[in-house]
Amino acid sequence: MIQRAFILSTGDELTTGKVVDTNANYLADKLNEIGLDLAGVITVGDVPERLEWAWKTAMEQADVVISTGGIGPTADDLTTETVARLTGKKLWFDNETADKMRRLFESGGRKMPENNLKQAMFPETAVIILNALGTAPGFRMAVAQKNHTSHLIVLPGVPREMKPMMEETVIPWLVESRGHDKVHVSQTFQTYGISESGLDQAVAGLIKPEEARVSFRASFPQISLRVAVEGRPGEAQTRLDELSARVREKISDFVYGEGDVTMEDVIGRLLTERHLTLAVAESCTGGMVGHRITNVAGASNYLRADLVTYSDESKVKLLGVSKETLKQHGAVSEQCVLEMAAGARKAIGADIGLATSGIAGPGGGSKEKPVGTVCIALVAEGFKAARTYRMWGTRDWIKTLASQVALDWIRRYLLGLPMGEGPFRR
Amino acid sequence: MIQRAFILSTGDELTTGKVVDTNANYLADKLNEIGLDLAGVITVGDVPERLEWAWKTAMEQADVVISTGGIGPTADDLTTETVARLTGKKLWFDNETADKMRRLFESGGRKMPENNLKQAMFPETAVIILNALGTAPGFRMAVAQKNHTSHLIVLPGVPREMKPMMEETVIPWLVESRGHDKVHVSQTFQTYGISESGLDQAVAGLIKPEEARVSFRASFPQISLRVAVEGRPGEAQTRLDELSARVREKISDFVYGEGDVTMEDVIGRLLTERHLTLAVAESCTGGMVGHRITNVAGASNYLRADLVTYSDESKVKLLGVSKETLKQHGAVSEQCVLEMAAGARKAIGADIGLATSGIAGPGGGSKEKPVGTVCIALVAEGFKAARTYRMWGTRDWIKTLASQVALDWIRRYLLGLPMGEGPFRR
């Protein structure tokens, strides 16, 4: 019965920091999706005794060990040898694999270097996993441990070869071999305007540990909460729906979306549904609001223009902000952002005008308007609002936070909600 | 003596595949830079017995164990407790840390949730590592093992908090504690417009392994090359300077900066030195060029305005692009970007006008102008240039690549270099 998994990521490029290990993340996600429990990931370089230790450790603890890397043709590719040595198996040479490799090279008009033949060697009892996109096939084999059987799955490290092997061969085999018919379902809530600990408190006691696993993920400036349920098909989804409803009721004020969505996705969907257009005027956020909005495919359907007026002069010339306002209230003022939002809207004839102006720092602050002071305004037909926030942190932090509040204003306006107090509510 | 290291990455978000572990990569790179041997990385979720196993395993094998994650305020943050239990230490409450946390919350006008106080608990004998950017400080402590002492270093999982703690506190301590009087110096070259393998070939044979360690790091869209030298004080720097000169000579065409600088830093410095101002007009990059430029403190000294004209109408109204040009050549054309750059420059009276227009995808491509077609133009007194690039990849990839080429154009213009062929030269 396969329940508990381990991932091995091998290669000096990982232990010297040359490459980010995206394979482990991909595999973790796939295992999570089919409800296997990932007990751990071990990463080691191409050093025989470390590889051996990693394999031994993983096999002892897991029903299935998935390894990437170390099956190339060069001298530092040690995985196949290590597995054979550890499991006491001899290596055999697979003629069919060797022929395929030769043909692959010949079809590219090249002669196969002899060291590639190493990739046609497999431990006895291994079942070959075909690799449609590269020379090195993978393999799997079962190894008896003290109290369980550990299934070893050896894959190449190149993501574009590894992923199809995983999806076409390994996952179907894993699903068939899990030995139970439980499924794993989850629901994610994207929140904003509440801290991770505030969120934790808000849902405390709502779900018992045996009902579901509740986890939080903070990815500035948003925090997501996930409810994950394991159970029999049908039953699991019903339970998830019921638990999700409980959570939703408690935190709906802070949820801007459910599932894998960003604030800019949500706004894009709302604007598209309502056939409304947007004009932005940015000062302190410096283009970040526009950048985020245009990260969504199809943004050209609603974003008419974004005027980043980084100087007083450009606010006057491009947005029609009055010199009097700048003189009397300054560029970081509710009066100014209101004129900016109205000016952007008018300049291009959009339905909604949104504006930001503030002091992102590190310089430019004063006692009255310290670094982190940010004004936001939204102007639409028969509607106008402006507000001053006191944010904190580094320059990029303030830009990010201000862009998030600004985007949230669009969402709130479209949903008829009051403009938010921002990330400072709790 | 500290030689051998282990990294622990903890958190359910890693074992469920929600987040790519970039922390381990960052730490591996930093350890490599100071010549420590990274024996392995272990990743586990927020499960007490797995955390305990991971810590025990790492301590047994390594002189220093660096952990990230699990020191937040919520119930699933278990690292501090686990370390205390494993090492037989009691937890103490640090009033000073608690006060700091309270003040941080108050400065943002919020009341600190009580569960945050958990972050002021530390195992006895722990030395606190200050966290300038977040509530959770880290700590380090020494733990006697059978044949060696293992130093535990506990850091938060949030990269922007963890990295400065590593650079300001942990690395200097590690360098001092390595137990020999050799110093470690390094020089980084930031490159653009050459592939990693092209760079590898360009410097092949230039430096012997015993002279220095040469490593490459690809962080889209830039690739850096680092020369790291270990030796006696004085001698090491002299050798580094000599080796750096050799490298510089070979790859100067591709180097836009040395040390820890971004393309936008370099441009900011050049524009400031020359007292020149900039106006940008963006289409496909959607604000990203402005966003990157304004990530540099002091950008208001040179960036006058950035007009993100995401619709044809806005190109005409705000930049004065002629309807005839749009009709005859389309918005993605060298004619259009030239008019955009000239229009932006004129609209606000800047010295330099820069423009981008292209098809970021996934929709909007045609046979003649497929997704990835990007036009860039720069206009200044007595100067104008435009060029069409064929880029590839996802929407965010194309936006990033296009913004990099656009920024590089400013650099090249200011240095009197020919406009680059972009990331396609090799």
Question: How far A219 CA sits from the closest chain B CA (Å)?
Answer: 8
Q: Of B32, B43, B304, which has the smallest distance from its Cβ to A17's Cβ? A: B32
Residue B424's pLDDT band (cuts 50, 70, 90): very low
pLDDT for the residue A312: 95
Q: Is the pLDDT of residue A75 over 70?
A: yes
Q: In the A/B pair of chains, how many CB contacts fall below 8 A?
A: 298
CB distance B363–A201 less than 8 Å? no
Region B266-291: what's the mean pLDDT? 98
CA B378/CA B93 separation, integer angstroms: 59
Q: Is the pLDDT of residue B321 over 50?
A: yes
Alpha-carbon distance values, B85 to A292, B52, B91, B124 (Å) = 45, 9, 9, 11
Q: Is the pLDDT of residue A422 over 80?
A: no
Mutate to test the interface with B, among A9, A10, A20, A282 (most CBs of B within 10 A): A20
What's the fold here for domain A263-415?
Answer: Maf protein (3.90.950)
Helix (H, G, I), strand (E, B) or coil at B278: strand
Buried b (16+ CB within 10 A) or exposed e, A16-39: bbbbbbebbbbbbebbbeebbbbb
CB distance A317–B363 less than 8 Å? no
* B-chain residue closest to A12, CA distance: B38
pLDDT for the residue A424: 44
Peptide bond into B164 cis (omega under 30): no
Region B71-76: what's the mean pLDDT? 87
Region A181-208: what's the mean pLDDT? 87
Backbone angles phi, psi at A132, to 5 degrees: -75, -20
Question: How far B21 CA sits from the closest chain A CA (Å)?
Answer: 7
pLDDT for the residue B257: 95
Residues spanned by CATH 3.40.980.10 within chain A?
4-177
What six digits make up the tokens of B410? 């400013």
pLDDT for the residue A146: 92
Alpha-carbon distance values, B254 to B58, B251, B311, B376 (Å) = 41, 6, 35, 19
* B-chain residue closest to A426, CA distance: B110
| CATH annotation of B263-424 | 3.90.950.20
Residues spanned by CATH 3.30.70.2860 within chain A?
183-258
Mutate to test the interface with A, among B27, B314, B345, B407 (most CBs of A within 10 A): B314
In total, chain A counts a number of residues equal to 426
Contact predicate A59/A68, CB 8 Å: no
Q: Is the pLDDT of residue B422 over 60?
A: no
Give the pairing type, strands A4-10 and A37-44: parallel
Q: Helix B196-203 vs helix B235-251: angle between axes, to the nearest 10 degrees?
A: 120
* B-chain residue closest to A31, CA distance: B16
Give ipTM to 2 decimals: 0.79
pLDDT for the residue A425: 37
* A-chain residue closest to B114, CA distance: A197
Mutate to test the interface with B, among A12, A15, A260 (most CBs of B within 10 A): A15
Residue B154's pLDDT band (cuts 50, 70, 90): very high
Q: Of A44, A308, A399, which has the smallest distance from its Cβ to B305's Cβ? A: A308
CB distance B348–A295 less than 8 Å? no
Residue with the bigger pLDDT between A51 and A218: it is: A51
Q: Is the pLDDT of residue B142 over 60?
A: yes
What six digits make up the tokens of A241? 């729906």
Give the pLDDT confidence of A144-187 residue by residue, as tens digits. 999 999 999 999 998 889 999 999 999 989 988 876 677 778 89
- Average pLDDT taken over every residue of chain A: 92
What is the distance, to the nearest Å, from the Cα of residue B91 to the centroid of all Cα atoms in its chain?
35
Strand partners of residue B392:
none
**Three-class DSSP labels, chain A:** CCCEEEEEEECHHHHCCCCCCHHHHHHHHHHHHCCCEEEEEEEECCCHHHHHHHHHHHHHHCCEEEEECCCCCCCCCCHHHHHHHHHCCCEEECHHHHHHHHHHHHHCCCCCCHHHHHHHEEECCCEEECCCCCCCCEEEEEEECCCCEEEEEEECCCHHHHHHHHHHHHHHHHHHHCCCCCEEEEEEEEECCCCHHHHHHHHCCCCCCCCCEEEEEEECCEEEEEEEEEECCCHHHHHHHHHHHHHHHHHHHHEEEECCCCHHHHHHHHHHHHCCCEEEEECCCCCHHHHHHCCCCCHHHCEEEEEEECCHHHHHHHHCCCHHHHHHHCCCCHHHHHHHHHHHHHHHCCCEEEEEEECCCCCCCCCCCCCCEEEEEEEECCEEEEEEEECCCCHHHHHHHHHHHHHHHHHHHHHCCCCCCCCCCC
What is the distance, to the nearest Å, from the Cα of residue A95 to the centroid of all Cα atoms in its chain?
42
What six digits make up the tokens of B404? 């990099």
Architecture of the structural domain at B183-258: 2-Layer Sandwich (3.30)
* A-chain residue closest to B14, CA distance: A25
Of chain A, the percentage scoring pLDDT greater than 70 comes to 98
> Residue B156, CB half-sphere, CA atoms under 13 Å: how many?
23
pLDDT for the residue A180: 67
Mutate to test the interface with A, among B115, B310, B399 (most CBs of A within 10 A): B310
CA B194/CA A215 separation, integer angstroms: 42
Region A81-101: what's the mean pLDDT? 94
Strand partners of residue A51:
none
Residue B426's pLDDT band (cuts 50, 70, 90): very low
Give the pLDDT confidence of B21-61 residue by residue, as tens digits. 999 999 999 998 888 999 999 999 999 999 999 999 999 99
- Average pLDDT taken over every residue of chain B: 92
Q: Of A298, A305, A318, which has the smallest distance from its Cβ to B311's Cβ? A: A305
Beta-carbon neighbour count of residue A171 at 10 Å?
A: 16
Would you say the C-alpha torsion A393, A396, A397, A400 has a positive or negative sign?
positive
Give the pLDDT confidence of B174-203 residue by residue, as tens digits. 988 876 667 778 899 999 888 777 788 889
* B-chain residue closest to A32, CA distance: B16
| CATH annotation of A4-177 | 3.40.980.10
Q: Is the pLDDT of residue B215 over 50?
A: yes
pLDDT for the residue A426: 31
Residue B228's pLDDT band (cuts 50, 70, 90): confident
A32: which residues sit within 8 A by CB, 6+ positions away? A38, A184, B15, B16, B17
Chain A residues whose CB is inside 8 A of the B306 CB are 286-287, 307-308, 310
Chain B residues whose CB is inside 8 A of the A305 CB are 307-311, 314, 318
Query: Reading across the β-sheet that carries A222-231, which strands appear in turn?
Result: A213-219, A222-231, A183-191, A255-258
Query: What does the radius of gyration of chain B's CA atoms come to, in whole angstroms?
Result: 26
Question: How far B374 CA sits from the closest chain A CA (Å)?
Answer: 16
Residue with the bigger pLDDT between B159 and A111: it is: B159
Region B400-406: what's the mean pLDDT? 95
Chain A residues whose CB is inside 8 A of the B108 CB are 390-392, 424
Region B219-232: what's the mean pLDDT? 84
Chain B residues whose CB is inside 8 A of the A45 CB are 38
Chain A residues whose CB is inside 8 A of the B287 CB are 282, 287-294, 306, 308
Residue B16's pLDDT band (cuts 50, 70, 90): confident
CB distance B19–A313 less than 8 Å? no
Alpha-carbon distance values, A416 to A103, A389, A408 (Å) = 65, 21, 12
Would you say the C-alpha torsion B386, B388, B391, B394 has a positive or negative sign?
positive
pLDDT for the residue B416: 94
Q: Is the pLDDT of residue B168 over 80?
A: yes
Give the pLDDT confidence of A300-345 residue by residue, as tens digits. 999 999 999 999 999 999 999 999 999 999 999 999 999 999 999 9
